[in-house]
Amino acid sequence: MIKKVLIANRGEIAVRVIRSCREMGIQTVAVFSDADRLALHVRYADEAYHIGPSPSHESYLNGDRIIEVALKSGADAIHPGYGFLSENTEFATKCKEAGITFIGPDPYAITQMGDKISARQTMIAVGVPVVPGTQQKVSDMESVKKIADEIGLPVIIKASAGGGGKGMRLVRNADELISAVKMAQSEALSAFGNDTVYIEKYVESPHHIEFQILADRHGNTVHLFERECSIQRRHQKVVEETPSPFITPELREEMGRAAVAAAKAVNYVGAGTIEFLVDANRNFYFLEMNTRLQVEHPITERVTDIDLVKEQIRIASGLPISFAQEELKQHGHAIECRILAEDPFNNFMPSPGLIKHISEPNGFGVRTDGYAYEGYEIPIYYDPMISKLIVWGRNRDEAINRMKRALFEYKITGVKTSIRFLERIMDNHDFQSGNYNTHFIQENLGELMNIVSRGTRVYEDMAIIAAYFDFMTKMGKVAMSDFTVFHSDNWKTFGIKRSLFPY
């Protein structure tokens, strides 16, 4: 059994992994960059080591340095979290060579699934449906036109090494085709160091629905149901929920079987996610596999009661998965909102900086996976996520109401956050009726941006002012009649001023 884990990551995911380790009686080692010397994961772990300057390529992406620290600290395993080195074949191989267990799949599976073209070929071979498109890289421009004719416009040009929504180009008109391919190639080259692109049919109004899988070295591969991730902005997930309000029990079973087959096709071991696109007629197509833990994994944990990090550690230790497929049930409904340090009402501008005040929601059915605290400065070097807010309800309606209540309780000052924007999503009629696809945010942007009615928040702020005045009048310091309330038309600014100044 693994005894000491080095977490090659930072932020909320490093804290989250340490939590499971502590419950399992496993020692933890944190690594940190200059900017993270005061970060929560550093305080939470049993030991912490500085690995370099703030930019990721000099610290969290420096695999050799991290392995050195693992050996020095006596860690027998490395958990990569998500992002950074989590899907890096070379790093996984180096861990193995150094005699350290990489908590993730074998290098072969990472390579096979990390390249989108080879992943598509593998899926076709085992009969898992893929989005119609090319099986080879795009070479000459003549064949590009021919392929687009065959598939039919619109198409998407995708980087084979792509990820994070980068290196994708939508083409609706034939005359844009060649320039789009060229642009995608140069974008792919600069973002991933590889200009291989391929062509895929553009699925209109799709749902992004993914399946969580787990596989051990004893021949067991199971799925832990789906996550509906169609609330996206620029191909990046914003809100996730499970069960999906879109799929039927039959489709769930069919997609679950396909997900297990997909994992088995590469002899997958560990936790992974099979992403599918589902069209308006409920046809599903394999999109890609993420060979690591996902940001949105807690909603799966909430409805299945399975701690995915503990399962990852068990599997990496050579133990079997702790449950069988038949024992699993989805109970109730879970939703996750990603709380980002950005200003949604100013073109989603990143807003790093000092957290002056933070009070997180709590109560029945609420979980926050975060790492920020009062006085902590969110660094500019890394992604802008402050925390993930996860709620559970017996059914979807209860979960939505609970999410609204939790967002209402969430207070962060000092940096701008996406909290109000998320509240607008929860208030949206189409979201509430479960009637949405990946275009939801784009199509509802006007409504989501409308903060004229600030709802209950105004009343809460007013209540604080009223309570203060009540207190002041009782103390005999002021008379209520001395004051008038003022506010701008949209209530963006409001307050109380003295009608009669004493001088």
Give contact residues for ligand ADP (rule: CB under 6 A). Answer: 131, 156, 162-166, 200-203, 206, 208, 232, 235, 275, 277, 287-288, 438
Q: For tokens 């088995």, what's the residue?
A: 264
User: Cβ closer to ligand ADP: 190 or 359?
Assistant: 190
Neighbour-count burial of 15, counting CB atoms closer than 10 A to its CB (0-12 exposed, 13-18 middle, 19+ buried): buried
Of residues 120, 169, 292, 396, which has the active-site annotation?
A: 292
User: Cβ closer to ligand ADP: 131 or 366?
Assistant: 131
The CA distance from 219 to 221, in Å, is 7
The CA distance from 258 to 251, in Å, is 10
User: Cβ closer to ligand ADP: 26 or 277?
Assistant: 277
DSSP secondary structure of 83-106? STTTT-HHHHHHHHHTT-EESS--
Which residue type sits at 355?
I
Helix, strand, coil percentages (3-state) for the chain, rounded to 5, are: 40, 25, 35
**Pairing between β-strand 77-79 and β-strand 4-7 as defined by DSSP bridges:** parallel
The CA distance from 393 to 400, in Å, is 8
- CB 288 to ligand ADP: min, Å: 5
Q: Which stretches of 131-248 are DSSP H helices?
A: 141-151, 177-192
Tokens matching residue 17? 């992994």
User: Cβ closer to ligand ADP: 161 or 378?
Assistant: 161
- CB 158 to ligand ADP: min, Å: 6
User: Cβ closer to ligand ADP: 30 or 263?
Assistant: 263
Tokens matching residue 495? 């307050």
The CA distance from 216 to 316, in Å, is 8
User: Cβ closer to ligand ADP: 64 or 204?
Assistant: 204
DSSP secondary structure of 141-169? HHHHHHHHHHH-SSEEEEETT--TT-SEE
User: Cβ closer to ligand ADP: 42 or 159?
Assistant: 159
Residue 450: phi and psi, rounded to 5, are: -80, 105
Give catalytic status of residue 292 as yes or no.
yes
The CA distance from 303 to 319, in Å, is 23
Residues taking part in catalysis: 292
